């Protein structure tokens, strides 16, 4: 993807991408490298993989550091000469939060605090943070705009992301840093190693005749292909007007889990798949903390000139083919 001059302007010097070997992070790294920008990637490879960076790691502008954000003292060297930080390092799995909430706390809140503490003493000018629609919890308004309140996340994952947003806002206002916060819908596409499509594909590879769906199958959410997500991410770089700016990045429509199941098995060339639902918990959710209805209002970005190219179902179809 060719970046506009307005998007490139804030990226002079070296850009740090935390979690840059992960799903979304690696696509951001590829975009930066393809635009001949200098990139430093920080990843502990707990969920990321160096194979995700195969398109970028041979570039002279690419530098990889295998470290964890909890390694506090090493962050001094990692942040040297960095002006912009894309912070995507996190525990990406929503479902683990119920049994192990400490994982999300340490990976998300604690490590973000460590990063911010070092950033405020460095020359970093901007931090762009990958948050989530889960911070809204179960809002009364659908589609949900950025200024919706109050925010009551229902999962430890959503709660930790909201805590990170608050920390970033406070550091930006106190220490003169610019902050971009992106609240993502469900992002799908190549290199994803979790989520509903990945789950369905792997189940059907084991048994092509039946597919178990968590919950009642009526969970309805917005899905965005990673190519649209990354394009929206960089589009926002040139649109900041406040010290801290929040953008929803999602789709104009939504789809339900049973529809996704049908799209996946059709893409796999399967027929007569028996789909069964577990019934779920708390009124048909797939798991504790699963938001049953999610749809972001993206009118703020649309007014600025951005909109996704693929619908939710088209994104799911393409992502399935990429994962296969």
Query: Domain limits of the chain?
Result: 5-187+224-249, 193-222+253-293+311-323
Q: Are 161 and 288 in contact (CB under 8 A)?
A: no
Helices (H) and strands (E) in the chain, counts: 11, 14
Instruction: Give catalytic residue positions.
Output: 157
Kindly report, residue by residue over 226-265, the tens digit of the pLDDT: 999 999 999 998 888 889 999 999 999 999 999 999 999 9
Collapsed DSSP state (helix, strand, coil) of residue 211: strand
Q: Which fold has domain 193-222+253-293+311-323?
A: UDP-galactose 4-epimerase; domain 1 (3.90.25)
Phi/psi of residue 23, each to 5°?
A: -60, -70
pLDDT reading at 96 higher than 70: no
Kindly report, residue by residue over 112-153, the tens digit of the pLDDT: 999 999 999 999 999 999 999 999 999 999 999 999 998 999
pLDDT reading at 104 higher than 70: yes
Kindly report, residue by residue over 178-197, the tens digit of the pLDDT: 999 999 999 999 999 999 99
Same topology, domains 5-187+224-249 and 193-222+253-293+311-323? Answer is no
Distances (CA, A) of 176 to 115, 122, 169: 15, 11, 10
CA 108, distance to chain mean position in Å, is 13
Q: Are 177 and 127 in contact (CB under 8 A)?
A: yes
Q: For the domain 5-187+224-249, what is the CATH superfamily, name and number?
A: NAD(P)-binding Rossmann-like Domain (3.40.50.720)
pLDDT reading at 97 higher than 60: no
Q: Are 291 and 138 in contact (CB under 8 A)?
A: yes
């Amino acid at each position: 993807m060719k970046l506009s001059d307005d998007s490139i302007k804030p990226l002079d010097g070296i850009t740090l991408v935390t979690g840059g070997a992960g799903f979304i992070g690696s696509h951001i790294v590829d975009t930066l490298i393809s635009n001949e920008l200098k990139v430093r990637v920080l990843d502990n490879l707990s969920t990321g993989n160096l194979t995700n960076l195969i398109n970028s790691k041979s570039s002279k502008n690419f530098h990889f550091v295998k470290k964890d954000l909890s390694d506090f003292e090493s962050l001094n060297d990692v942040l040297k000469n960095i002006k912009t930080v894309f912070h995507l390092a996190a525990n990406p799995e929503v479902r683990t939060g119920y049994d192990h909430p400490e994982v999300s706390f340490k990976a998300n809140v604690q490590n973000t605090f460590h990063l911010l503490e070092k950033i405020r003493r460095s020359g970093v000018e901007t931090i762009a943070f990958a948050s989530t629609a889960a911070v809204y919890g179960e809002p009364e308004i659908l589609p949900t705009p950025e200024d919706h309140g109050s925010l009551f996340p229902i999962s430890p994952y959503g709660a930790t992301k909201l805590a990170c947003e608050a920390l970033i806002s406070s550091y930006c206002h106190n220490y003169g840093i610019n902050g971009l916060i992106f609240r993502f819908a469900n992002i799908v596409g190549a290199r994803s190693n979790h989520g509903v499509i990945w789950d369905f594909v792997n189940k059907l590879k084991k048994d092509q005749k039946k597919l178990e769906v968590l919950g009642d199958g009526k969970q309805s959410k917005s899905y965005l292909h990673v190519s649209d997500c990354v394009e929206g991410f960089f589009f926002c770089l040139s649109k900041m007007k406040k010290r801290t700016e929040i953008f929803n990045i999602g789709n104009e429509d939504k789809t339900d889990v049973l529809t996704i199941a049908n799209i996946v098995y059709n893409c796999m060339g399967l027929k007569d798949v028996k789909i069964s639902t577990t019934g779920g918990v708390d009124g048909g959710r797939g798991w504790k903390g699963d938001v049953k209805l999610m749809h972001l209002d993206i009118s703020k970005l649309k007014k600025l000139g951005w909109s996704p190219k693929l619908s939710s179902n088209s994104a799911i179809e393409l992502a399935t083919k990429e994962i296969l």
